[in-house]
């Protein structure tokens, strides 16, 4: 019994002194391992008289329990300490400046899409997407584009080889996502659709692959005034010019009625182009009230719902906003160009109405 008290003191000492999980494990083996002190004593019980064996056995069992508990407790303490040390050591200082030698840039097209999404996002629009490879129904027919319409001609549209269920096309605009959305969700609808589009055009101002952003708003009382208010607000926020002149010019699209093209004011004095100044106009997007036939094609009752849509070329507004003179350079992936026109990752827009820079 005296020896047990002695061991009890030793347990406390060993466990308290253990400075690491490894040291603690050594102490555990020394006490409770196959040749540990407590184990050895237990082995010796068999040689005792029954009376003494019972008494010592109970005491040994208690001691064993105490040892196990003390070890588990010390292990938790050591694990806590190790975690706290790691948290101290591996702490990240998010306020450190970006490394000056960083080569990475955000491409101006990505930057422009982010800005457009931020501005419309603030107005309550969400982002929708659709496939780049479309069928004739979504790209043309449902949009009320008749079979003889020039947009369907081979020289403008990339057609894929004839397929079991008709001819597929590389979508020529983002408008098919209007159809896909209206087929899928019940109004009210308020979406924008940034994405790739394709037309068989290639010169200094046209690329066979380019980007558009579509907008669609459908509700019971949405009218032309909402279309105008929304697009004027967008143009002024995007170009960061509060009094930017915006003009709505009558136009025609098969899928909207009435239709309007949107121009912004600019000046062309001295050969340069200045957005916001008077004198001249620049077309930046097409828009209109969604044609009743298009609503009906999507299973939406035109006597109950109405709304507006618009479509804008992203390269064009990016070039205007950031003074990019040549469309083709946008896709060249020349690092020198990207370093000049690109954006540092932390300059991403955080506010409506332009960049927080
Ligand atoms: N889809 C048209 C285009 O590519 C743009 C547009 C979209 C016009 C929506 C009106 C409404 O030219």
Q: What is the pLDDT of residues 129-142, one digit of tens each?
A: 999 999 999 999 99
* Calpha distance 106→18 (Å, rounded): 53
pLDDT digits (tens, 9 = 90+) for 230-275: 999 999 999 999 999 999 999 999 999 999 999 999 998 877 888 9
Is the CB–ligand 1 distance for residue 288 below 6 Å? Answer: yes
For residue 128 the two structure tokens come to 């929708």
Q: How many CB atoms lie within 10 A of CB 45?
A: 13
Q: Kindly give the number of the ligand 1 atom that is closest to the alpha carbon of 216.
A: 9
**DSSP assigned state of 343:** B
Q: How far is the C-alpha of 218 from the C-alpha of 300, rounded, in Å?
A: 10
Residue 206 has pLDDT above 90, yes or no: no
| Residue closest by Cα to atom 10 of ligand 1 | 287
Of 144, 169, 174, 175, the residue with max ligand 1 atoms within 8 A of its CB, to mutate for a pocket test, comes to: 175
Asked if pLDDT for residue 351 goes beyond 90, the answer is: no
Q: Is the CB of 256 under 6 A from ligand 1?
A: yes
Q: Is 307 in the pocket of ligand 1 (CB under 6 A)?
A: no
Cα–Cα distance between 145 and 152 in angstroms, integer?
8
User: Which pTM was predicted?
Assistant: 0.71
Residues 305/187, Cβ–Cβ less than 8 Å: yes
So what's the pLDDT on residue 107? 94
Q: Do 138 and 176 form a contact (C-beta atoms < 8 A)?
A: yes
**pLDDT for 4 beyond 60:** yes
State the Cα–Cα distance between residues 36 and 14, nearest whole angstrom.
13
Matching CATH number, 108-341, of 3.30.930.10, 2.40.160.40, 3.50.50.60, 3.40.50.300:
3.30.930.10
Q: Distance (Å, rounded) from C-alpha 235 to C-alpha 247?
A: 11
H helices present in the chain, as ranges: 2-17, 21-32, 37-44, 50-89, 108-122, 136-139, 176-184, 224-239, 292-297, 314-322, 335-341
Q: What is the mean pLDDT of residues 62-77?
A: 92
Helix pair 21-32, 2-17: axis angle to 10 deg: 160
Mean per-residue pLDDT over the chain, rounded? 90
Q: What is the pLDDT of residues 309-343, one digit of tens each?
A: 999 999 999 999 999 988 999 999 899 999 999 98
Question: Which range (43-47, 120-124, 174-178) has the least confidence?
Answer: 43-47
Sole residue written with tokens 């279309």:
227
Q: Quick check: 311 and 211 in contact, CB under 8 A?
A: no
| Non-local CB neighbours of 76 within 8 Å, separated by 6+ positions | none
Which atom belonging to ligand 1 lies closest to the Cα atom of 174?
1
Ligand 1 binding pocket includes 234 (Cβ within 6 Å): no
Please indicate whether residue 195, judged by its CB atom, sits closer than 6 Å to ligand 1: no
The Cα–Cα gap between 2 and 6 comes to 6
The rounded Å distance from CA 255 to ligand 1 centre is: 8
Show the tokens assigned to 252: 């025609």
If DSSP codes are grouped into helix, strand and coil, which group holds residue 63?
A: helix
Q: Residue 275: what pLDDT?
A: 92
Q: How far, in Å, CA of 247 to CA of 113, rounded?
A: 23
- Cβ atoms of 10 and 65 within 8 Å: the answer is no
Q: Is the CB of 215 under 6 A from ligand 1?
A: no
Q: What is the pLDDT of residue 356?
A: 38
Query: Which residues is 281 bridged to in the sheet?
Result: 265
């Amino acid at each position: 019994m005296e020896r047990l008290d002695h061991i009890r003191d030793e347990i406390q000492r060993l466990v308290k002194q253990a400075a690491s999980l490894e040291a603690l494990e050594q102490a555990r083996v020394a006490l409770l391992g196959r040749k540990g002190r407590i184990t050895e004593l237990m082995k010796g019980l068999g040689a005792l008289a029954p009376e003494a064996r019972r008494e010592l056995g109970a005491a040994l069992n208690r001691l064993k329990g105490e040892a196990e508990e003390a070890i588990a407790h010390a292990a938790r303490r050591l694990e806590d300490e190790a975690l706290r040390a790691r948290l101290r050591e591996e702490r990240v200082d998010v306020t450190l400046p970006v490394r000056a030698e960083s080569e990475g840039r955000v491409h101006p097209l990505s930057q422009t899409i982010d800005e457009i999404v931020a501005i419309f996002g603030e107005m309550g629009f969400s982002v929708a997407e659709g496939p780049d490879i479309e069928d004739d129904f979504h790209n043309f027919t449902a949009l009320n584009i008749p079979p003889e319409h020039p947009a369907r001609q081979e020289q403008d549209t990339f057609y894929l080889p004839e397929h079991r269920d008709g001819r597929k096309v590389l979508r020529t605009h983002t408008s098919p996502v209007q159809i896909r959305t209206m087929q899928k969700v019940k109004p009210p609808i308020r979406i924008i659709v940034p994405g790739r589009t394709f037309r068989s055009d290639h010169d200094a101002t046209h690329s066979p692959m380019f980007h558009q952003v579509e907008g669609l708003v459908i509700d019971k009382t949405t009218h032309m005034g909402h279309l105008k208010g929304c697009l004027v607000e967008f143009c002024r926020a995007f170009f960061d010019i509060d009094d930017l002149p915006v003009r709505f010019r009558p136009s025609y699209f098969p899928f909207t009625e009435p239709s309007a093209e949107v121009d912004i004011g600019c000046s062309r004095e001295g050969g340069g182009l200045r957005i916001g100044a008077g004198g001249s106009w620049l077309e930046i997007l097409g828009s209109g009230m969604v044609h009743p036939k298009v609503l009906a094609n999507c299973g939406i009752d035109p006597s109950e719902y109405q709304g507006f849509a618009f479509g804008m070329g992203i390269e064009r507004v990016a070039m205007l906003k950031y003074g990019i003179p040549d469309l083709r350079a946008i896709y060249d992936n020349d690092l020198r160009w990207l370093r000049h026109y690109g954006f540092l990752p932390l300059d991403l827009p955080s506010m409506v109405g332009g960049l927080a820079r």
